[in-house]
Chain A
Amino acid sequence: MNTKTVYRPQAGLTEREYHYCPGCTHGIIHNLVGEVLKERGLIESSVGVASVGCSVMAYEYFDCDMHQAAHGRAPAVATGIKRVRPESTVFTYQGDGDLASIGLAEAVHAAHRGENITIIFVNNAIYGMTGGQMAPTTLLGQQTTTSPHGREKAQAGEPLRVCELLSNVPGATYLERVSVHDPKHVRKAKKALQKAFDIQSGKQGFTLIEFISTCPINWGMEPKDSLDWAVENMIPYYPLGVYKDMTKEDDDA
């Protein structure tokens, strides 16, 4: 019986096994990024910028040049790289503590300047690496180690919606929020990444793909249950979909 491989893992990735917790969606997202960059022929000329969070060691996993940034600074680092090496494909990989808290200014301004980079934003509504503290994206009522009675609006404000925020920034070209909780959504997420990197290759400006993600350990759930929790609680507050698509407007013009 002859066989044909229809799915080979680790495209665009190194041999290293991920250090992520069992069931952490970082793994799925890394796989998609690697696949897209490999399939588009971009991986060998890419520079990825790792941020600070669970994915701090992303430089071990993507099979391309990598640059480690300080907490929140990845979009500024990516700006520096892309400005001097415009022919390379530059992406950042950031969690919600990194991008939506300490790094919000750098993310907004990279979008504002229309930097021709791609930000991969992994939103799991918590600070994972440091043990489960409240993030700007933590939901109201969600218990974390720094919101022991659940996030309260009066104390901490309502959760921050990044795609919505950036959709008002003139320089942003393409913003989409996706999920990876089942194969159908994984496929859609891959299409979103393809679109984002195609826009970068076409020099059409700034792209950001926000992934609704999970944190089984810090949420205190089994991996499958955490996917369900994300679907039932995060997606209603952070609706999936395209938040900005300037390429459509260019087509219509």
Chain B
Amino acid sequence: MAKGRIIIDEDRCKGCGLCIHPCPVDILDLDRSKTNKKGYTPLYVTDPEQCIACSFCAMMCPDNVITVERFVKEGSK
């Protein structure tokens, strides 16, 4: 069950891959099936269910591609 999710601004991504290695659950890769508006191969999440919303990927991203959200129970802050 995912603890959270990342929102990817695909067209900002330069396919540098710095986000991939730090992911503790190893669910990031470059999506070789596509290229974005800049002509790069962007990032994608291989198994969103495993996301722990640790933000490591976002911290390592030089291009402000990733927003990280944690899932919270209804009614909690």
Tell me, in angstroms, the Cα distance from A93 to B56 when the chains sit together: 25
Contact of A9 with B by CB under 8 A: yes
- Shortest CB–CB separation between residue A75 and chain B, in angstroms? 25
Once bound together, how far apart are the Cα atoms of A160 and B9, in whole Å?
Answer: 39
Contact stretch, chosen from A20-28, A161-169, A239-247: A20-28
- Please tell me which one of the listed residues A5, A10, A216 contacts residue B64 in the complex, with CB atoms under 8 A apart: A10
Q: A1-B71, A3-B4 are in contact. Are A17 and B66 (CB under 8 A)?
A: no
| B59 & A183 in contact (Cβ 8 Å cutoff) | yes
- Counting contact residues on chain B (CB < 8 A from A), the size range is 35 or more
Q: Is B27 an interface residue (CB 8 A)?
A: no
State the Cβ distance, A138 to closest chain B Cβ, in Å: 22
**Interface residues of A, CB < 8 Å — how many?**
32
Does chain B have a CB within 8 A of A99? no
Kindly identify which residue among B4, B62, B77 contacts A28, using a CB–CB cutoff of 8 Å: B62
Check if A7 sits within 8 Å of B71, measured CB to CB. no
B53/A6 in contact, CB under 8 A: yes
User: Is B70 a contact partner of A4 (Cβ separation < 8 A)?
Assistant: yes
Establish whether residues A5 and B14, one from each chain, have CB atoms under 8 Å apart when the complex forms: no
A123 to chain B, nearest CB (A): 16
Contact flags B61-77 to A (C-beta < 8 A → 1, else 0): 11111111111111011
Instruction: Count A/B pairs, Cβ under 8 Å.
Output: 92
Is A18 in the interface zone, CB < 8 Å from B? Answer: yes
Binds B, one of A66-74, A107-115, A219-227: A219-227
Q: Counting CB contacts under 8 A, is A13 at the interface?
A: yes
Q: Provide the bound-state CA to CA distance between A216 and B71, in Å.
A: 36
Compute how far the CA of A9 lies from the CA of B62 in the bound complex, rounded to whole angstroms: 10
| A77 contacts B by Cβ under 8 Å | no
Question: With an 8 A cutoff between CB atoms, is A186 at the interface?
Answer: yes
Query: Is A7 within 8 A of B66, CB to CB?
Result: yes
Q: Name the A residues within 8 Å of B28 (CB-CB).
A: none
25 inter-chain pairs at a CB distance below 8 angstroms, sorted by A residue, are A2-B71, A2-B74, A3-B5, A3-B71, A3-B72, A4-B70, A6-B55, A7-B58, A7-B59, A9-B61, A10-B64, A17-B63, A20-B62, A21-B14, A22-B16, A24-B62, A28-B59, A183-B22, A183-B55, A183-B56, A186-B60, A187-B59, A216-B16, A223-B16, A224-B17
